[in-house]
A and B are shown apart, each in its own frame.
Chain A
Amino acid sequence: MSKGLKVEKEKCIGCQICMLVCSGSHVGKFNPSESRINVEDVYPEPAEYRFNYCIQCDEHPCVEACPVEAIKLDEGLGIYVVDKTLCTACGACVEACPYNGCWLDPTGSYSIKCDLCGGSPQCIEACPRNVIKR
Chain B
Amino acid sequence: MADGYTGNVLRVDLTNEKISTEPIKREWTKLHIGGKGLGARYLFDELKPGVDPLSPENVLMIWTGPLVGTMVPLTSRYVVVTKSPLTGTFLDSYAGGYFGPELKYAGFDGVIIKGKAKKPVYLWIEDGKAEIRDAKDIWGKDNYKTEELIRKETGEKYARVATTGPAGEKLSLIAGVTSDLTRNAGRGGGGAVFGSKNLKAVAVRGTLGVEVPDIDKFIPMAKEMLLKDVVENPDHAGSITDGTPIIVDMSQNAAILPTRDWTSGEFEDSAGLNSDALKTRVLVRRKACMDCGIACGSWSKVSKGKFKGAATEGPEYETIGICGSNCGIKNIEAVVRFAEDCDRLGLDTMSAGAAVAFAMHLYEKGILTKKDTGGLDLKFGDEDAYAKMPAMIANRKHIGDILADGTKRAAKRIGKGSEKLTLESKGSEYPAYDPRGSIGMAIAYATSDRGADHNRAWPVASDAYGSGDPWSTEGKAATCVEDQTRTSVKWSFIFCDFYAVNFGNMAKYYTAVTGVKADEQYLRSIGRRNWNLVRAFNVREGFSRKDDNLPERMEKEPLPSGKTKGKVVPRADFEKMLSEYYKLWGWDDNGRPTKKSLEEAGLGDIVKKLPYLK
Contact = CB atoms under 8 A, between A and B. Distances in A.
A70 interface: no
Interface in B516-548: none
A56 B515 CA distance: 39
A18 B92 CA distance: 30
A23 B286 CA distance: 25
B181 A17 contact: no
B209 A30 contact: yes
Contacts of A29: 209-212, 215
A125 B210 contact: no
Contact of A15 (B158, B207, B290): B290
Contacts of B290: 14-16
Given A14-B288, A41-B98, A128-B231, A47 B71 contact: no
Given A25-B219, A30-B71, A31-B210, A128 B226 contact: yes
A128 B223 CA distance: 9
A3 B209 CA distance: 30
Given A17-B71, A30-B70, A31-B208, A44 B219 contact: no
Interface string A29-50: 1111110000011011001000
Contacts of A33: 105, 158, 206-207
Contacts of B208: 31
B603 interface: no
A24 interface: yes
Given A21-B223, A29-B210, A32-B105, A15 B71 contact: no
Interface string B280-317: 00001111111111010001010000000001010000
Contacts of B237: none
B207 A34 contact: yes
Given A25-B219, A27-B209, A29-B211, A43 B299 contact: yes
Contact of B293 (A15, A25, A40): A15
B209 A126 contact: no
Contacts of B215: 24-25, 28-29
Contacts of A24: 71, 215, 218-219
Interface in A101-128: 106, 122, 125-126, 128
Given A13-B287, A24-B215, A122-B219, A43 B181 contact: yes
21 contacts: A13-B286, A15-B288, A15-B289, A15-B291, A15-B293, A17-B291, A20-B291, A30-B212, A33-B105, A33-B207, A34-B209, A40-B158, A41-B98, A43-B180, A43-B182, A44-B181, A47-B284, A126-B71, A126-B223, A128-B227, A128-B231
